[in-house]
């Protein structure tokens, strides 16, 4: 059981963490910190946080766990602010979608505390945002990736793992570099791709007509293009090298299909579509088997 | 009320048309035609068709409406088969996702019957396929596009419109060329894009690991990559010029965002993401207002 947990950035991710810890009965007190007073008042009204933290000197010294749940672009400044006030036992963790950059910030701004900094990434739907969207069950059955450097103390990793397990998550580990390469492929680039599609369509003179006839396939495939623009700009910049590699790979594959279409080469198109169809069907079947199975 | 309706290709689209006409009580008899005997027997068992049509000479002469619901790649051959047997009053229509090519097939293979051929496209989720997926409510509130040349007789257009209205659809009209340009943008290219993404990921040595960490955003944005490979190959080839234009447009927009990322230009990324976010939010709000409003 945790005593005091401080959540910096009480939105969907931070608010849902608080609600899930409370649901599990594993936290005594949740303090919320953030830039928006109205938002924090709302979080109190919704029972998400117990109080608002205003004076760094009073907040962090006796905290068991500090969760940084802001956009990644704000984390360096927050680390600088909290560094002088952290208690010797306080564990700091984050929920950022990129890990090499966050680890770099911690090395630069929390050097005294680096063994008690645990870099992590809860994989949960982030196209909604704001404290109003927070839910106690957001993390049920989802994956937490711990992607922290070898210097992090094992007992800090265990404490963070237990907190997220209490929220319903399954815990996975990898290096920060592996994390960033994998999520560039399956999350960051697909977001860029969807943003680029909607931006392209919406920039045309006949955009209104195009949207009128867009149907459920377009709606689903662009759902992530409704994601938080500032958060995703920060993610792209933070994971720039890996995202650029994904763009290169996708451009080459799209160019291959374009050549096939130019050449009336239905066989190449068919093979790519069939391969995609079968791979996705196997993936969905595995997810559904996992959801039914004992490991879920 | 229609007397005899013949459905060529009793899958999701053809089967749902039959069920919706029956639900509305506007058809006396539905005859199914197709390549797969097992599938047609299943359609009878499910109450979708009343009988199986085997001899062209016996099927088409007294039909009020023939609905071609096969992949577009099969339609030319089917038109050749049915042409000598159509009754003078029989109206022929189709459900193909491309219209200029189908109109061309009709001009080549149904020249005696061209005034009673109505090119149309029901916009309804097609990532499922097969007669087992057919549902009476598939078309409720969805859009039917009539995209037929000026030579089509008005009373044939009215008859097809009334049948689809009885299935719950809203009717829209445009030229075949307009249709193909619009659907290249909002449907055909987005499918190619999703197929290309999954094909790219699935072709890598670490594909299994990548899929393990892919989450709901990836799942939704690639739902259409689970679509029917043969059908979509046919669509791409049939609407080749318009799809190639969309690829060019998308490649240029992706290259612009890539340059921004190479240059650490967060402002350009942010503007594109914000534009996309806002355009999609406005589109969804309009859909939801339409679903509530009197025009729905």
Contacts B124 to A, Cβ<8 Å = 215
Contact state of B186 with A237 under an 8 Å Cβ cutoff: no
Task: Give residue-wise pLDDT tens across range A106-125.
Answer: 999 999 999 999 999 999 86
Give the number of beta-carbon pairs within 8 Å between A and B.
277
For residue A129, the model assigns a pLDDT of 76
How do residues B43-60 score in pLDDT, each as one tens digit? 999 999 999 999 999 999
Average pLDDT, chain B: 95
A29 pLDDT more than 60: yes
Q: pLDDT digit string (tens) for B226-269?
A: 988 998 999 999 999 999 999 999 999 999 999 999 999 999 99
What burial letters (b/e) apply to A112-142, b meaning 16+ CB within 10 Å? ebbebbbbbbbbbbbbebebebbebebbeeb
Q: Do B218 and A186 touch (CB under 8 A)?
A: yes
- Confidence (pLDDT) at A127: 59
Strand partners for B4: B29
| Contact yes or no for B209 and A253 at CB 8 A | no
Residue A295: predicted pLDDT: 44
Between residues A179 and A291, the one the model is more confident about = A179
Q: How confident is the model at residue B125 (pLDDT cuts 50, 70, 90)?
A: low
* Disruptive mutation site among B169, B213, B256 for chain A (greatest number of A CBs within 10 Å): B213
Phi, psi of A39 (to 5 degrees): -60, -45
Element (H, E) at B137: none
B-chain residues near A286 (CB < 8 A): 211
Which residue in B210, B216, B270 is closest to A233 by CB distance? B270
pLDDT of A290:
78
Query: Measured between CB atoms, which of A190, A253, A281 is closest to B199?
Result: A253
Question: What local confidence, expressed as pLDDT, does residue A289 receive?
Answer: 87
pLDDT of residue B88: 95
Nearest chain A CA: its distance from B192 CA (Å): 8
pLDDT band at B29 (very low <50, low <70, confident <90, very high): very high
Report the alpha-carbon distance of residue A19 to residue A27 in Å, rounded: 10
Residue of B174, B221, B246 to mutate when probing chain A, most A C-beta within 10 A: B221
Share of chain B above pLDDT 70, in %: 97
Helix%, strand%, coil% for chain B, nearest 5: 60, 15, 30
Inter-residue contact B30 to B3 (CB < 8 Å): no
B273·A233 Cβ contact <8 A: yes
CA A61, CA B193: separation in Å to the nearest integer?
A: 51
User: CA of A193: how far to CAs of A180, B107, B177, B196, B242, in Å?
Assistant: 17, 39, 27, 11, 20
Q: Do A272 and B226 touch (CB under 8 A)?
A: no
Q: What is the mean pLDDT of residues B101-122?
A: 97
> Are A280 and B217 within 8 A, CB to CB?
no
Closest chain B residue to the Cα of A230, Cα to Cα: B270
Q: Which residues of B touch A219 (CB under 8 A)?
A: 284, 287
Cα nearest neighbour of A121 on chain B: B213
CA distance B61 to chain A (A): 36
For residue range A5-24, what is the model confidence (pLDDT) as tens digits? 999 999 999 999 999 999 99
CA angle at A171 for the pair A165 and A174, rounded to the nearest 5° = 150
Q: Which residues in chain A have their CB less than 8 angstroms from residue B126's CB?
A: 217
pLDDT at A296: 36
| Amino acid B295: pLDDT | 44
**Cβ contact A233–B124 (<8 Å):** no
pLDDT at B66 over 60: yes
Render pLDDT for B131-158 as a digit per residue (tens, 0 to 9).
999 999 999 999 999 999 999 999 999 9
What's residue A292's pLDDT? 66
What pLDDT, on a 0 to 100 scale, did the predictor assign at position A125? 67
Q: Which residues of B touch A139 (CB under 8 A)?
A: none
Closest CA–CA distance from residue A77 to any residue of chain B (Å): 18
Distance from CA of A159 to the nearest CA of B (A): 23
pLDDT value at position B216? 87
Nearest chain B residue to A259 by CA distance is B244
What pLDDT digit, counting tens, does each position of A209-238 carry? 999 999 888 999 999 999 889 989 999 999
Residues A20, A166 contacting (CB under 8 angstroms): yes
Mean pLDDT for A250-275 is: 98
* Alpha carbons B294 and B288: distance in angstroms, whole number: 12
Nearest to B193 among A193, A204, A237 (CB): A193
The more confident residue out of B74 and A292 is: B74
- The H or E element spanning position A126 is none
Helix (H, G, I), strand (E, B) or coil at A233: helix
Q: Which two tokens stand for residue B73?
A: 């790649």
Of A237, A257, A280, which has the smallest distance from its Cβ to B222's Cβ?
Answer: A280
Residue to mutate among A143, A217, A226, with most B CBs inside 10 A, is A217
**What distances in angstroms separate CA A171 from CA A225, A248, A296, one per listed residue?**
28, 31, 12
Q: Name the residue among A217, A226, A234 with its Cβ closest to that of B127.
A: A217
B270: chain A residues, CB-CB within 8 Å: 229-230, 233
The pLDDT of residue B130 is 86
Contact A277 B190 (CB under 8 A): no
Chain A contacts of B202, Cβ < 8 Å? 275-276, 279-280
- Which of A12, A74, A139, A221 has the most B C-beta neighbours within 10 Å, making it the best mutation to test the interface with B? A221
| DSSP classification of residue B139 | T
Contact A123 B210 (CB under 8 A): no
pTM of the full predicted structure?
0.88
Q: Which of A127, A237, A264 sits opposite B266 (nearest CB)?
A: A237
As a whole-number percent, the residues of chain B with pLDDT over 90 amount to: 91
User: Which residue is closest to B199 within chain A, CA to CA?
Assistant: A276
pLDDT (average), residues B259-285: 97
Q: Which residues of A touch B201 (CB under 8 A)?
A: 185-186, 279
pLDDT in tens, A179-219: 999 999 999 999 999 999 999 999 999 999 999 999 888 99
The pLDDT value given to residue B126: 57
- The band of A130, judged by pLDDT with boundaries at 50, 70 and 90, is confident
Contact A272 B199 (CB under 8 A): yes
Q: How many CB atoms lie within 10 A of CB A143?
A: 17
Per residue in A50-77, pLDDT tens? 999 999 999 999 999 999 999 888 999 9
Q: What is the pLDDT of residues B155-206, one digit of tens each?
A: 999 999 999 999 999 999 999 999 999 999 999 999 999 999 999 999 999 9
């Amino acid at each position: 059981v945790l005593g005091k947990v401080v959540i910096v950035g009480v939105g969907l991710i931070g608010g849902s963490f608080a609600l899930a810890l409370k649901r599990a009965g594993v936290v005594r007190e949740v303090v919320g910190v953030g830039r928006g007073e109205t938002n924090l008042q709302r979080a109190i009204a919704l029972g998400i946080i117990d109080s608002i933290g205003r004076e760094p000197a009073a907040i962090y010294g006796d905290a068991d766990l500090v969760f940084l749940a802001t956009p990644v672009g704000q984390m360096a400044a927050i680390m600088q602010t909290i560094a002088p006030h952290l208690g010797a036992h306080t564990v700091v963790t984050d929920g950022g979608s990129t890990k090499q950059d966050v680890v770099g910030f911690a090395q630069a701004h929390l050097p005294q505390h680096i063994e008690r900094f645990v870099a992590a990434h809860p994989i949960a739907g982030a196209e909604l945002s704001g404290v109003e969207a927070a839910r106690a069950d957001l993390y049920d059955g989802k994956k937490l990736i711990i992607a922290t450097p070898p210097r992090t103390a094992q007992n800090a990793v265990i404490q963070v793992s237990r907190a997220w397990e209490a929220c319903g998550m399954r815990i996975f580990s990898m290096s920060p570099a592996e994390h960033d390469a994998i999520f560039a492929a399956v999350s960051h680039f697909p977001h860029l791709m969807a943003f680029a599609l909607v931006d392209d369509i919406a920039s045309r003179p006949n955009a209104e007509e195009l949207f009128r006839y867009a149907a459920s396939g377009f709606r689903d495939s662009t759902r992530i293009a409704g994601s938080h623009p500032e958060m995703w700009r920060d993610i792209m910049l933070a994971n720039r090298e890996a995202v650029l590699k994904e763009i290169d790979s996708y451009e080459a594959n799209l160019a291959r299909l374009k050549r096939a279409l130019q050449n009336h080469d239905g066989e190449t198109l068919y093979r790519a579509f069939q391969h995609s169809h079968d791979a996705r069907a196997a993936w969905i079947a595995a997810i559904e088997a996992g959801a039914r199975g004992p490991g879920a």
